[in-house]
A and B are shown apart, each in its own frame.
Chain A
């Protein structure tokens, strides 16, 4: 299992921006067979796809997050990041980063993928 530790502040105030990062083993973030993604899990609930990003910066976002999410990638630091703006209590969750193998070629970047390695998760709480 790939080590993908998440990092970032555990507490964010309502209406502010949640920022999280995920560290990737050196050399793997530019592997053209993989995207890098984020998934979240509210307390006691199921999994929700947030988005995924390629090393070129090409990214896909869950429309349910209504433009509040931005993913970025820094290949020099072997990290990719999540920013979620205008947070509310509904954004309180465990946030997971994951590796996203993608077949390329026959599929668009938005489809035909899965999550084959997950980080341990980081709890993010929205509260004043």
Chain B
């Protein structure tokens, strides 16, 4: 199975400051159709996950533009340009390029 390794696992951030989460894959995630099926999800405390980003860098409708995704091959990054209080939660990457789909272990973002 593809192993997705996120870092850091815990990310204390000052309000208004940027944050960056890495997701590294044990295998390349480019599919034969030219796309890379890597998504990012946010799970706020006590809530179900919400998709933020799909195919590496495509933001879902309603997701603030302070969230951005980038990367290729085996290295991917989720960036928050200026962290707000509502961004507290756990963030997961997920791949479905290779079977079976797998999730990263999660990165907990908290306010310092």
Residues of A within 8 A of B (CB): 1, 39, 46-49, 60, 62-64, 96, 103, 106-107, 110-121
Contact = CB atoms under 8 A, between A and B. Distances in A.
A70 B92 CA distance: 26
Main secondary structure of the interface of A (DSSP, over half): loop
Contacts of B48: 96, 118-121
Q: Which of A107, A114, A121 has the most CB of B within 10 A?
A: A114
A63 B99 CA distance: 9
Interface of B: 31-33, 35, 37, 39, 41, 48-51, 54, 60, 92, 94, 96-106
A46 to B, nearest CB: 5
B94 A112 contact: no
A103 B100 CA distance: 17
Contacts of A46: 92, 103-106
